[in-house]
Structures are given as structure tokens and as C-alpha cells.
């Protein structure tokens, strides 16, 4: 079948009086084609009408499509079970042409923004090799919609605290904020609702007001609305991570910061310009930074333990020994941890990554700990050697209690010694083995297990080793 241009040429040459053979030789087509076009008298290409194999089964296919909840594989299996032989590609092509299970495609939209009108923020989980293991991190990105300037960082987890840390760094990077920040509906900034009915967290509303901006969420399913920030994620995954080595999350963010600066200097096909060239135009329309931008921190309440440390995200940070057993306030920033007694700063530590089980001791606290260690060590309880020598189960329980309670293990050890005096050895050892196998160190529950194991006398006869009295 010839195209529209060839058919138009055939009709024009025929109108000028040229014969069929001459037209066929001039256009390099067959005489039959020339005759058919002349008989049709139109340059429009006629539709090819072919009988489809599935056409006679259209009603059954529609019924099965509804019954199988749109699963064409199941429709194909049901047709085969009824003896109707159709290729799977034939079935899918027929459904596509007849609109069975197909949603009509709509024209995509285009959003144009004035300088400083809007910025878009979103996050995406990425799997990255950090150090020697693969980790899942949350990549956060903020893009200015007019100039396409981009800023991105990654975080081990994503909370409102880290959202405020990231947005503060990004707005400082741009030197100002756009009047509106568009979000995805799944953002932790949104408390409930979607689109124009989305309600933002009160603390995040106050945070946005600090920079003269407001948070808004796009309508559910309107992916075009957040296209400015969605595209950079695939760009980061395909261009930034490959071939780079990261020692830590901090090292990754340092390299990503430099990469963003280079990426903003590359031309964008969609805007036919470099973001860094359009940024001066937009920067003048951004809301300027306030005179003072307070540091973002998360507030925690902790009690200083007997060793002079507070625990935060499995890491321990030293505090003055004058505040042992006192309640203190711990402020966690992006790079620091500060310990306060009410409003008085006691000390400041470099923040360690959560989950590292690191022990952080300041030099002034370390010297006091060393002097204390060089002095006379705290004597062990007199009951402890008896417990360790009685049986392997008792020895293991002593070690477990001291590891759990540290300097506060005196009371649990005394109770364990009382149980050793009160109960027969065999049931006690049996119960302790069960407790240790399950990581159970609550002695009240352990004693309940002992009572279930006791089958005879509840009391043991005193021995010469039992003459040691418990301290008052």
C-alpha cells in the first residue's frame, strides 16, 4: 500500500494526461497500483480491514476480563480451557485495540513557573555501598523550579528533624527560599489529607514561616506536578553513585555537595540553558534568609548513668561525674551532641552515626576516669566467688547480670545469692540455663521458673561456705 504522497503524485500525473505505464516507470511502482489509485480517485490511504481471530469471541473475552479482574494471563488460560486457541500476543493486541481494560491516555501537562515562585522537595530510597556494606539511605532533594538549581543529600533515616536539617542546608545553599514548597503526599511533613486538603505538621508550618515560605502537596496521582524534583533522583542514581567510593555517610554527602555544584553548571536540554546561568535571575526573587537562622536540633531527656555517660541511639557520650544519676537534656544537632543541665551547657560532643555502639569520652572526663581507675578498685562482693564456683550456670548468670547492669549489679547479685541459698542446686541450675538461653535476666521471673523446677525440699542445708553474711 502506497503512502499519501505517492498516491497524490499518481493522481496529479494522471490529471496531466500521462499514461499508466509512464506513471508507473516514473514513480517506480507497479501498473496495478497506478490503476487502483486512479480508480479510487483519492489520495487518502484506505484503512486495511482484516478479520481478527479474536473478534468472534469478543463478548466472552469481555466477560472473562471482568471475572478475572483484568488479569489477561487468566483470561488466556480460561479461553484455552474452553478450547479456544489464541496466541497470547493476539489476545493482548485485540484487547488493546478494542480498549478492553485500557484507560484512555491523556495529554501530559506542562507547568511554567516565575522566578522564586516555587521549589519542589521529595525523598527517594537508594541502595548505596558505604564502606564495605550495602546500605539503604534516604536521598532528599530540593529543586528551584525556574532555574532548575538542585541540592541533594542522603540520610540513614528520614524524620522531621532531618527534614528541617536538610531544608535549612538547602535554603542556605540557594541563599533564599521560594514562596511555595511543593511536596509529595507521602511526605512526613504532611500530617493527614492529600492535595489541597493536606494538613501540615504545626512544627513544619512554623519552620517554613521562618524562611517566608509555605508547604503545599500536589493532588494525588498528579506526577507531572512534581516532575522538577522527581527526575534528579534517577540522574543521581545513574550518574553520581557509579564508580565512587564512600567511607561514610558524611563522606558521601561531601562528594554529593560537590557533584551538585558541577551538575548545576551543565546545560539542560529542556530549558536550553545552564541552571547556574538562570540562577541570578531567580535569586533576586527568592525570600532572603532571616538575619539569624537558629540551629536545628532534636531534644531528648536522659539520666547520667553510674559511669558518667548518657546513651543516644546506641552511642554513649560522657558527662561530668557531678551529674551522675541526674536527669539532663540532650540536644542532637546534625554534627554535634550537647548535654545541658536545664539551660546550662555541660559539654559538647561530636555526633556519631546512630547504631555504631561507640563510646565517646571527652578529655576532661577521661582524666577523671583514669585517676579513678588508678586508685583502689571497688572490691567484688564476697558472694560473687561463691556463685561463680557453684556451677557453670550460676557463673554465666553472674557475668550476664554484670554486663547488663554494670556498676549497678550489686542488688541483682545479692538476690541471686539469696536464691542460691533458698533453692536446691539442680532446679536452680536448670532454671538458670532456660533463662540464659532466652536472654531472660529478670530475677523475679527466673525465680518463678525455679519454683516450677523444684520437686522436693525448698530449702538447702547450710554449708561452711554459707557462713559469709550478706552486707546490711
In a domain, 109, yes or no: no
Grid cell, residue 236, equals: 543521581
Is the same domain home to 160 and 142? yes
Q: Kindly state whether residue 104 falls inside one of the protein's structural domains.
A: no
Residue 273 main-chain phi, psi, to 5 deg: -165, 170
For residue 54, what is its C-alpha cell? 479474536
Q: Are residues 326 and 437 in the same domain?
A: no
Domain around 27: 4-40
DSSP state of 224: G
Q: Is residue 335 over pLDDT 60?
A: yes
Alpha-carbon Rg of the chain, whole angstroms?
38
Contact indicator for 33, 24 with CB cutoff of 8 Å: yes
Contact 262, 255 (CB under 8 A): no
Tell me, yes or no, whether 355 and 257 share the same domain.
Answer: no
Q: Which of 355, 374, 393 marks a domain boundary?
A: 374
Q: Does 360 fall in a domain?
A: yes
Question: Looking at the domain assignment, is residue 45 inside a domain?
Answer: no
The crossing angle, in degrees rounded to 10, of helices 31-40 and 20-27 is 110
Q: Which three cell numbers stand for residue 318?
A: 560522657
**Are residue 254 and residue 160 in the same domain, yes or no?**
yes
Alpha helices in 264-350 (DSSP H): 275-283
Are 288 and 167 a contacting pair, CB within 8 Å? no
Specify the higher pLDDT residue, 227 or 119: 119
* 293 falls within a domain: no
**DSSP per-residue string spanning 71-133:** -HHHHHHHHHHTT----HHHHHHHHHHHTTT-PPP-PPP-----TTSEEEEEEEEEEEEETTE
Judgement on whether residues 68 and 137 belong to the same structural domain of the protein? no
Q: Are residues 394 and 412 in the same domain?
A: yes
Give the residue-averaged pLDDT of 198-224: 87
Could you give the CA distance from residue 246 to residue 311 in angstroms, rounded to a whole number? 27
Claim to verify: residue 128 and residue 262 sit in the same structural domain: yes
Q: How confident is the model at residue 354 (pLDDT cuts 50, 70, 90)?
A: confident
DSSP-assigned letter for residue 25: H
Calpha distance 59→26 (Å, rounded): 50
How many distinct structural domains can be found in the chain?
5
Q: Are residues 12 and 94 in the same domain?
A: no
Average predicted confidence (pLDDT) for the chain: 85
Domain final position from 319, 353, 374: 374
State the CB neighbour count (10 A cutoff) for residue 100: 20
**Does residue 472 carry a pLDDT above 50?**
no
**Residue 106 pLDDT grade (very low, low, confident, very high; cuts 50, 70, 90):** low
Q: Could you tell me if 352 and 248 lie in one domain?
A: no
Q: How many whole angstroms separate alpha carbon 342 and alpha carbon 349?
A: 18
pLDDT band at 258 (very low <50, low <70, confident <90, very high): very high
Phi-psi region of 217 (alpha: psi -120 to 50; beta: other; left: phi over 0): beta
Distance set, CA 227 to CA 51, 109, 113, 147 (Å): 43, 10, 13, 14
| pLDDT at residue 136, as a whole number | 92
pLDDT tens, residue by residue, 291-301 = 998 899 999 99
pLDDT over 60 (residue 468): no
Same structural domain, 364 and 460: no
In a domain, 110, yes or no: no
Please tell me whether residues 254 and 368 are part of one structural domain.
Answer: no
Claim to verify: residue 324 and residue 445 sit in the same structural domain: no
Predicted pLDDT of residue 465: 52
Residue 472 lies in a domain: no
CATH number for the domain that contains residue 204: 3.30.420.10
Dihedral of CA atoms 107, 108, 112, 113 in degrees, nearest 10, equals 140
Percent of the chain with pLDDT over 70: 89
Indicate yes or no: pTM above 0.85: no
Cα 158 to the center of its chain, rounded Å: 6
Q: Rounded mean pLDDT of 111-128?
A: 87
Question: Considering the domain boundaries, does residue 108 fall inside one?
Answer: no
Amino acid at each position: 500500500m502506497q503512502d499519501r504522497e505517492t498516491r497524490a503524485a499518481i493522481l496529479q500525473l494522471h490529471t496531466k494526461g500521462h499514461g499508466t505505464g509512464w506513471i508507473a516507470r516514473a514513480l517506480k511502482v507497479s501498473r496495478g497500483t497506478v490503476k487502483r489509485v486512479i480508480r479510487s480517485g483519492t489520495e487518502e490511504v484506505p484503512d486495511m480491514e482484516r478479520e481478527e481471530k479474536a473478534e468472534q469471541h469478543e463478548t466472552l473475552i469481555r466477560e472473562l476480563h471482568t471475572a478475572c479482574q483484568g488479569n489477561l494471563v487468566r483470561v488466556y488460560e480460561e479461553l484455552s480451557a474452553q478450547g479456544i486457541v489464541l496466541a497470547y500476543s493476539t489476545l493482548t493486541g485485540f484487547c488493546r485495540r478494542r480498549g478492553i481494560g485500557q484507560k484512555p491516555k491523556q495529554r501530559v501537562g506542562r507547568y511554567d513557573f516565575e522566578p522564586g515562585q516555587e521549589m519542589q522537595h521529595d525523598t527517594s530510597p537508594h541502595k548505596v555501598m558505604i564502606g564495605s556494606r550495602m546500605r539503604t539511605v534516604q536521598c532528599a532533594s530540593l529543586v528551584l523550579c525556574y532555574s532548575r538549581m538542585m541540592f541533594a543529600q542522603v540520610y540513614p533515616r528520614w524524620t522531621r528533624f532531618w527534614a528541617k536539617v536538610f531544608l535549612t542546608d538547602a535554603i542556605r545553599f540557594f541563599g533564599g527560599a521560594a514562596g511555595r514548597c511543593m511536596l509529595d503526599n507521602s511526605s512526613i511533613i504532611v500530617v493527614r489529607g492529600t492535595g489541597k486538603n493536606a494538613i501540615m505538621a504545626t512544627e513544619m508550618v512554623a519552620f517554613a514561616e521562618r524562611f517566608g515560605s509555605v508547604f503545599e502537596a500536589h493532588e494525588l496521582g498528579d506526577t507531572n506536578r512534581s516532575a522538577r524534583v522527581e527526575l534528579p533522583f534517577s540522574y543521581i542514581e545513574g550518574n553520581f553513585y557509579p564508580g565512587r567510593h564512600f567511607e561514610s555517610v558524611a563522606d558521601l554527602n561531601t562528594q554529593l555537595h560537590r557533584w551538585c555544584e558541577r551538575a548545576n553548571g551543565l546545560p539542560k536540554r529542556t530549558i536550553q540553558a545552564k541552571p547556574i546561568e538562570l540562577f541570578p535571575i531567580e535569586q533576586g526573587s527568592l525570600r532572603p534568609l532571616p538575619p539569624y537562622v537558629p540551629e536545628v536540633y532534636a531534644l531528648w531527656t536522659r539520666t547520667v548513668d553510674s559511669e558518667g555517660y548518657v546513651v543516644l541511639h546506641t552511642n554513649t557520650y560522657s558527662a561530668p561525674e557531678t551529674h551522675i544519676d541526674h536527669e539532663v537534656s540532650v540536644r542532637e544537632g546534625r554534627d554535634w551532641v550537647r548535654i545541658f543541665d536545664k539551660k546550662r551547657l555541660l559539654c559538647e560532643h561530636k555526633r556519631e552515626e546512630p547504631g555504631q555502639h561507640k563510646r565517646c569520652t571527652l578529655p576532661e572526663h577521661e582524666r577523671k576516669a583514669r585517676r579513678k581507675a588508678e586508685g583502689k578498685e571497688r572490691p567484688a562482693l564476697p558472694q560473687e566467688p561463691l556463685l561463680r564456683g557453684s556451677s557453670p550456670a550460676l557463673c554465666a548468670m553472674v557475668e550476664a547480670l554484670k554486663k547488663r547492669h554494670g556498676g549497678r549489679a550489686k542488688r541483682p547479685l545479692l538476690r541471686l545469692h539469696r536464691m542460691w541459698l533458698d533453692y536446691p542446686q539442680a532446679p536452680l541450675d536448670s532454671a538458670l540455663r532456660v533463662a540464659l538461653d532466652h536472654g531472660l535476666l529478670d530475677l523475679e521471673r527466673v525465680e518463678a521458673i525455679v519454683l516450677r523446677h523444684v520437686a522436693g525440699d525448698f530449702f538447702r542445708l547450710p554449708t561452711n561456705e554459707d557462713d559469709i553474711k550478706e552486707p546490711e
